[in-house]
Chain A
Amino acid sequence: MKPTRSMKLLAVALAAGLYAHLPLAGADALVKVDGSSTVYPITEAVAEEFQKAKKGAVKVTVGISGSGGGFKKFCRGETDISDASRPILEKEMKACAEAGIKYVELPVAFDALTVVINPKNTWVKELKVEELKKMWEPGAQGKIMTWNQVNPAWPNAPLKLFGPGADSGTFDYFTDAINGKEKASRGDFTASEDDNVLVQGVSRDVNALGYFGMAYYAENKDKLKAAAIVNKGSSKAVLPSLETVMAGTYQPLARPIFIYVSEKAMQRAEVREFVEFYLKNAPKLVKEVGYVPLSQAHYSQALKNFTSKKLGTGFGGTPEVGVKVEDLLAREAKL
């Protein structure tokens, strides 16, 4: 069939019409955010609402380069805000300092890791951090292969482990919190960068155990069971939930996640407005995307730190396990 003149006209009109009634970019205010994929859903939600509230006068872009990739761009001055699922590291602080980039560190939510088992698993009532260590430490590789090797009360059934791959921030934090050293883990487990694959794996095998972010557990509660965790030196088993994470009792597997705002970018009104909007709307939006919000007092303190330009990080370049958000916000900050 030969395209007729009227058909061509119709196509052009359709394309033009589609283009005309949509908001278009001009040379106007732009806020650039990049970084961690863990923080991404929160920043995406805030960006969406912020642009709606500003009726398109300010544009926000969000990329996913990972916490490390995000800091690289941030310290080159390419982005205004960096999403990070871990605090800035010493070498990144150095890179920023060399480029003259100063920043404010703002915790925006909790990310709680959930240890999950199959719903048909009847033997695990609670998991001690020591037991998790026995399963996951590098020395367990090829040795700890059955459940009763971890705890004699458990059955002689094969232990099938599922976890995120070594490039993930979740892997870094879990190994740090459980095995005491970042990236120290046994290697003979089923690893996937896609948490949905881990969900499938654990839901299909009675003998499976895995870990990933709480949002994935929350979406798959019918297929998985969360294990209650007993922290070192404690005797109380705590299940991951909004309340326990916010109260700080679900430890050591809950951590704050951050945004870093460049001081230079803070001179622009649209960046200030965006960050203020972020902290004010976080309680509602964070919950909506499956994460645990900080307490109202934390957000108010974070906002105060932001408006008073409290520059630097409270960590000094080394991530810590089990740090309290109020302590962190009150700490002396270092650039």
Chain B
Amino acid sequence: MNTAPSVAEVRALIVKHKRWDLAFAVIGTLALMVGILTFVALFADMLIDGMPRLNYDFLTSFPSRRPEQAGILSAWVGSTLVMLVTAVAAVPLGVAAAIYLEEYAPKNWVTEIIEVNVTNLAGVPSIVYGLLALGLFVYQFGLGQSILAAGLTLALLILPVVIVATREAIRSIPSAIREGAYALGATRWQMVSQHILPYSIPGILTGVIIGMARAIGETAPVITIGALTFIAFLPPTPISGAFPFLSFEWLTAPFTVMPIQMFNWTSRPEAAFQANAAAAGLVLLVMTLSMNALAIYLRYKLRKNIQW
């Protein structure tokens, strides 16, 4: 027999469900807070420890045995140059690979294997990339323990991130755009270069910068290929006064990066070095956050220009 529930019963049911709703909202908020509060606590702790050390001299001094004279000049210049190489290597390769996979590759088992591998590569521990790079770049190609070798290593590391982000961006473009281009007689390359690529740039940029933000904090692969700890000089300038005005000598220079400098300081016995490590951590965090901010800004700005 089927009797309709009374209004009171329905109300009770609704109240019960709403209670579950509320419970889940509370649990969800708590879960969110665990992450956010941990970050805030860490950040505040670092701010308190590191802020007194953060000044112009800290950014423009080389490492030293005296904590109050030590600085991160060679470290941040090293990190910046390595990131530059990483971007120059990873972006064209990653974007080209993604375009091929999305627009050109035939749908068969070879493509499928490639796709699975790209996704899996994103989960490979970074030290494995370091070992690969040590054998391949440092010894096989004879690049030595240089900025170039480090940049290429980190480029490999972020390549999967760039590829996946680019594919997502390309996939979000409506196929009507492709069909429209073909209908007007465009070749596949014209369609890709004049429509797909420009429209997917916001997404690509986001992927690239998120990848870079991961790479800048990497220590293991950079140590594996032989980054130094104490280095009190900078790579040669890329711009020279004489013809041809550009010099690529800096690519082969020895270097160190921010996380290595930090790690070295945290393992020292003097408490003052711990403050230096915190200050270096702040700088690294600011570098990472500003990269993320740039990504958000660019995405916002470029999206505004797209009108379908």
B92 is an interface residue with CB less than 8 A from chain A = no
Count class of interface residues, chain A: 35 or more
B292 is an interface residue with CB less than 8 A from chain A = no
Closest to A45 in B: B65
Asked if residues A37 and B60 are in contact (CB atoms below 8 Å), the reply is no
Q: Shortest distance in angstroms between A43's beta carbon and chain B's nearest beta carbon?
A: 8
Chain A residues, CB < 8 A from B227: 63
A298 is an interface residue with CB less than 8 A from chain B = no
Cα distance A26–B228 when bound, in Å?
Answer: 18
Q: With A18-B60, A196-B267, A219-B270 as given contacts, are A25 and B228 in contact (CB-CB < 8 Å)?
A: no
Cα distance A164–B72 when bound, in Å?
Answer: 28
Q: Shortest distance in angstroms between B71's beta carbon and chain A's nearest beta carbon?
A: 11
Interface centre among B235, B254, B271 (most CB of A within 10 A): B254
Contact for A25 among B73, B234, B267, CB less than 8 A: B234
B231 is an interface residue with CB less than 8 A from chain A = yes
Contact for B230 among A19, A61, A218, A285, CB less than 8 A: A61
Asked if residues B229 and A64 are in contact (CB atoms below 8 Å), the reply is yes
Asked if residues A62 and B229 are in contact (CB atoms below 8 Å), the reply is yes
CB neighbors of B among A277-296 (8 A): 285, 288-290
Asked if residues B230 and A23 are in contact (CB atoms below 8 Å), the reply is no
CB neighbors of A among B211-242 (8 A): 226-237
Contact for A218 among B236, B254, B268, B269, CB less than 8 A: B269
A190 is an interface residue with CB less than 8 A from chain B = no
Could you give, for residues 213-225 of chain A, a 1 whenever the CB lies within 8 Å of some chain B CB and a 0 otherwise? 1011011100000
Asked if residues A196 and B63 are in contact (CB atoms below 8 Å), the reply is no
Cα distance A218–B65 when bound, in Å?
Answer: 16
A60 is an interface residue with CB less than 8 A from chain B = yes
CB neighbors of A among B223-281 (8 A): 226-237, 249, 253-254, 264, 266-271, 274
Asked if residues B271 and A219 are in contact (CB atoms below 8 Å), the reply is yes
Closest to A49 in B: B65
Interface residues of chain A: helix, strand, loop or mixed (majority): mixed
CB neighbors of B among A1-59 (8 A): 18-19, 22-27, 32, 34, 37, 40-41, 43-45, 47-48, 51, 56, 59
Chain B residues, CB < 8 A from A65: 226
Q: With A61-B228, A61-B231 as given contacts, are A196 and B269 in contact (CB-CB < 8 Å)?
A: yes
Chain B residues, CB < 8 A from A219: 269-271
Asked if residues B267 and A194 are in contact (CB atoms below 8 Å), the reply is yes
Cα distance A216–B274 when bound, in Å?
Answer: 13
A195 is an interface residue with CB less than 8 A from chain B = yes
Contact for A62 among B64, B228, B233, CB less than 8 A: B228
Chain A residues, CB < 8 A from B253: 25
Q: With A61-B230, A219-B270 as given contacts, are A26 and B65 in contact (CB-CB < 8 Å)?
A: no
Q: Shortest distance in angstroms between B142's beta carbon and chain A's nearest beta carbon?
A: 12
Cα distance A290–B73 when bound, in Å?
Answer: 25
Q: Shortest distance in angstroms between B220's beta carbon and chain A's nearest beta carbon?
A: 14
Asked if residues B267 and A26 are in contact (CB atoms below 8 Å), the reply is no
Interface centre among B62, B231, B232, B236 (most CB of A within 10 A): B232
Asked if residues B65 and A289 are in contact (CB atoms below 8 Å), the reply is yes
Cα distance A59–B65 when bound, in Å?
Answer: 17
Chain A residues, CB < 8 A from B233: 23-25, 51, 56, 59
Interface centre among A23, A48, A194, A219 (most CB of B within 10 A): A48
Cα distance A18–B61 when bound, in Å?
Answer: 11
CB neighbors of B among A189-241 (8 A): 193-196, 213, 215-216, 218-220
Cα distance A220–B249 when bound, in Å?
Answer: 45
Asked if residues A290 and B226 are in contact (CB atoms below 8 Å), the reply is no
Chain B residues, CB < 8 A from A193: 267
Asked if residues A47 and B232 are in contact (CB atoms below 8 Å), the reply is yes
Q: With A24-B236, A40-B229, A59-B233 as given contacts, are A220 and B269 in contact (CB-CB < 8 Å)?
A: yes
Chain B residues, CB < 8 A from A285: 65
Could you give, for residues 61-92 of chain A, a 1 whenever the CB lies within 8 Å of some chain B CB and a 0 otherwise? 11111000000010000000000000000000
Closest to B139 in A: A76
Cα distance A289–B272 when bound, in Å?
Answer: 13
Asked if residues A64 and B269 are in contact (CB atoms below 8 Å), the reply is no
Q: Shortest distance in angstroms between A240's beta carbon and chain B's nearest beta carbon?
A: 14
Closest to A219 in B: B269
Chain A residues, CB < 8 A from B231: 61-62
Chain B residues, CB < 8 A from A64: 229, 264
Cα distance A34–B64 when bound, in Å?
Answer: 17
Cα distance A63–B254 when bound, in Å?
Answer: 10
Interface centre among B73, B269, B270 (most CB of A within 10 A): B269
Could you give, for residues 303-332 of chain A, a 1 whenever the CB lies within 8 Å of some chain B CB and a 0 otherwise? 000000000000000000000000000000
Cα distance A73–B225 when bound, in Å?
Answer: 12
A-B contact pairs, 19 of them (CB 8 A): A24-B233, A24-B236, A25-B235, A27-B249, A34-B228, A40-B230, A44-B230, A45-B65, A47-B230, A47-B232, A59-B233, A63-B229, A195-B267, A196-B266, A196-B267, A218-B269, A219-B271, A288-B65, A290-B269
Known: A26-B236, A62-B229, A219-B271. 15 other contacts (CB 8 A): A23-B234, A24-B237, A25-B233, A25-B253, A37-B267, A40-B264, A44-B230, A48-B62, A48-B64, A61-B228, A62-B231, A195-B267, A196-B266, A196-B274, A289-B65
**What 9 pairs across the A-B complex have the smallest Cβ distances?**
A62-B230, A219-B269, A45-B65, A216-B269, A63-B228, A44-B230, A25-B233, A215-B269, A61-B228
